[in-house]
Amino acid sequence: MKEVLKVSNITKTYQAKNGEIEALGGISFTANEGEFISIIGPSRLW
């Protein structure tokens, strides 16, 4: 299969009332042609 997307070491941090929340930490993946990728989790971490 043909690789169409490559994600390396992605992080996402949100500012909350009681400090920072790391929503994503060190996420890496590849998506090949015809694949469907999703990242799911709680919508509220605090």
Cβ proximity of 3 and 31 under 8 Å: yes
Q: Residue 44 has what pLDDT? A: 63
The domain ranges of the chain are: 3-32
Q: Residue 21 has what pLDDT? A: 87
Place 42 in a pLDDT band, splitting at 50, 70 and 90: confident
- Prediction pTM value: 0.61
Residue with tokens 């994503």: 24
Query: How many whole angstroms separate alpha carbon 38 and alpha carbon 15?
Result: 23
Q: What is the mean pLDDT of residues 34-46?
A: 77
CB atoms closer than 10 angstroms to residue 23: 14
**Which tens digit of pLDDT belongs to each residue from 1-37?**
899 999 999 999 989 888 998 888 999 999 999 999 8
Query: How many whole angstroms separate alpha carbon 27 and alpha carbon 45?
Result: 18
Q: Judge whether residue 45 has pLDDT over 60.
A: no
